[in-house]
Amino acid sequence: MKVLASYVSGAWVEGKGKPQTLVNPANEEPLAHASTEGIDFGAALAFARKKGGAALRAMTYGERGELLRAMSRVIHGNRDPLLDLAMANGGNTRSDAKFDVDGASGTLAFYAELAKELGGRKVLLDGDAVQLARGPRFVGQHILSPRRGVAVHVNAFNFPAWGLGEKAACALLAGMPIVVKPATSTAIVAHRIVELIVEAKILPEGALSLVAGPPGDLLDHLTGEDVLSFTGGGSTAAALRAGAPIVHDSVRVNVEADSLNSAVLGPDADASSDTYNAFLRDVARDMTQKTGQKCTAIRRIFAPRALAEQVAEDLRSRLQDVVVGDPTADKVTMGPVATASQLRDVRAGIERLASEAKRLLGDGPLSPVGAPAGKGYFVPPTLFFIDRPTEAQHVHAHEVFGPVATVMPYDSPSEAVALVRRGGGGLVTSVYADDRAAVAELALGIASAHGRVVVTSAKIADQTPGPGTVLPHSIHGGPGKAGGGEELGGVRGLGFYSQRTAIQGDRAILEAVLAS
């Protein structure tokens, strides 16, 4: 049995005590053990701050970008074995696994390119110098410089590769060392990526550490210049936010949590249009890609009342073609959910929805292809319909983290906006419309409740990857239930790992000091 060691203080260390067993969710066969008991996390964070932080800060943005490029290449160069690991440990189809692994290498490569523009600087200027007194010499210039702590990255089970890559790209480029803590249940892919990066000797000592297993007292050792970037469930986030260093030492925290993302078909919709087809394509893909275990997946589908039943029928017919089973078996297009506890949560969520919605798909017996009888954490694509969504509760309140969504009619664009906003703050909502007035009312009406709004119209219907894909150029995160966080967004993503300082003084001196 493979044992996942953690990489801390420059060495691979195995935890003691009873380990957690990682399994293949398609057949429940054990794959690896992980334990972190007995690991000195205080020393690990201190090592990262001292060694990794100093080494990264000695480099320019351009030089750090080259580290990201090398990381991207090593991931891409080992793509096939990484995809195999993701299929075994994550229940991913090959296409799901590519989404995760290519997402990691692609995001790192994006930031490597962006670093070229930042070039030989060690400090970033934030805007222009502003005159502060009557004379022209006394000015204020905002700058961004790397925080002198460590960035702890706690990730969810669903994106072990992309979650690592997208957070690592911004932190390392900004000049902060990272401690990566993937979710234990699917940690094999992240563990292998760290092994590859360490074997290739890409990063300076201390710049990258890995906690492979439960977090123990990791977060108790955070200090005021450290940052915590968390992706996971809202209730876990709430507990972490109450941690003593976070409350008393103002450790900077970013949270990416739950989200009841919507897709809204515009009031001008025509069922024979490219826009309508893009809408069906995106909803069906989002419900089933990664078995619906994407933070950006569409959970609520709003259509004009006159078209809602047709939307439900068209979706039902697309989803009926989904083949559920072991992702390594032929023709399977959707694998299991990742863990036994996810299966329990998804089933409970489905029952809650069934108490207020009509089930259109997902009720019958399930015979997963290629899975041993009675084994595996399988859920069928499940589609609900709610005729009076303003009166419903659960659908607007609870994220079901699986291949589950609900079609709901709306009677006016303003009602659609109000219904979407009942999700309490989300990562992304997509609007499918060509009429400009409709786009203005819907997109601008929901914008402040989201980190991202995707407007799909006929002329770009074949160009957009859909709302489920997080592109590094745009921000990822959202207000309220979604955690209130913000990641990526090009150079904006470096802000979390940097301290913004207003330097006030003589323009000539500041210009000389800040020239590089």
* Nearer of residues 6 and 141 to ligand NAP, judged by Cβ: 6
**Active-site residue flag, 351:** no
Distance CA 167, CA 151 (A): 9
Closest to 34 (Cα-Cα) out of 191, 258, 245, 247: 191
* Nearer of residues 72 and 259 to ligand NAP, judged by Cβ: 259
Least distance from C-beta 30 to ligand NAP, angstroms? 16
Residue of 14, 256, 399, 486 marked active site: 256
Instruction: Enter the DSSP assignment of 469.
Output: P
Least distance from C-beta 509 to ligand NAP, angstroms? 43
Closest to 8 (Cα-Cα) out of 37, 48, 35, 38: 48
* Nearer of residues 209 and 231 to ligand NAP, judged by Cβ: 231
* Coil, strand or helix at 478: coil
Least distance from C-beta 420 to ligand NAP, angstroms? 17
Residue of 170, 295, 399, 441 marked active site: 295
State both tokens at 303. 């259509």
* Coil, strand or helix at 254: strand
What is the binding site for ligand NAP (CB under 6 A)? Answer: 154-158, 181, 183-185, 214-215, 219, 231-233, 236, 240, 256-259, 295, 399, 401, 427, 482-483
Distance CA 388, CA 402 (A): 23
Let me know: does 300 contact 283? Beta carbons within 8 Å: no
* 124 strand-pairing partners: 144
Closest to 160 (Cα-Cα) out of 346, 34, 267, 55: 34
Least distance from C-beta 184 to ligand NAP, angstroms? 4
Where are the extended beta strands (E) located within 56-154? 124-131, 138-146, 151-154
Closest to 259 (Cα-Cα) out of 118, 422, 62, 137: 422
State both tokens at 122. 């060690």
**Active-site residue flag, 170:** no
End-to-end CA distance of the chain: 51
Exposed / middle / buried, residue 271 (Cβ in 10 Å: 0-12, 13-18, 19+): middle
* Nearer of residues 37 and 462 to ligand NAP, judged by Cβ: 37
Q: Cα angle at 190 between 189 and 194, to 5 degrees?
A: 120
**Secondary structure element (H or E) that encloses residue 456, with its range:** strand 450-456
Between β-strands 262-265 and 300-304, what pairing exists: parallel, antiparallel or unpaired? parallel
Least distance from C-beta 473 to ligand NAP, angstroms? 16
Least distance from C-beta 5 to ligand NAP, angstroms? 15
* Nearer of residues 194 and 416 to ligand NAP, judged by Cβ: 194
> What dihedral do alpha carbons 492, 494, 495, 496 form, nearest 10°?
120
Q: How many residues does the chain have?
A: 516
Let me know: does 466 contact 298? Beta carbons within 8 Å: no
**Secondary structure element (H or E) that encloses residue 172, with its range:** helix 162-174
* Nearer of residues 154 and 494 to ligand NAP, judged by Cβ: 154
Least distance from C-beta 155 to ligand NAP, angstroms? 5
Distance CA 416, CA 418 (A): 5
Least distance from C-beta 248 to ligand NAP, angstroms? 17
* Nearer of residues 259 and 289 to ligand NAP, judged by Cβ: 259
Distance of CA 272 to the CA centre of its chain: 34
Least distance from C-beta 234 to ligand NAP, angstroms? 7
Alpha carbon separation from 84 to 1, 24, 78, 115, 147 (Å, rounded) = 17, 12, 10, 31, 37
Closest to 406 (Cα-Cα) out of 355, 458, 344: 355
Q: Which residue is nearest to ligand NAP (CB)?
A: 232
* Nearer of residues 236 and 328 to ligand NAP, judged by Cβ: 236
* Nearer of residues 93 and 158 to ligand NAP, judged by Cβ: 158
Give catalytic residues, as residue numbers.
Answer: 256, 295
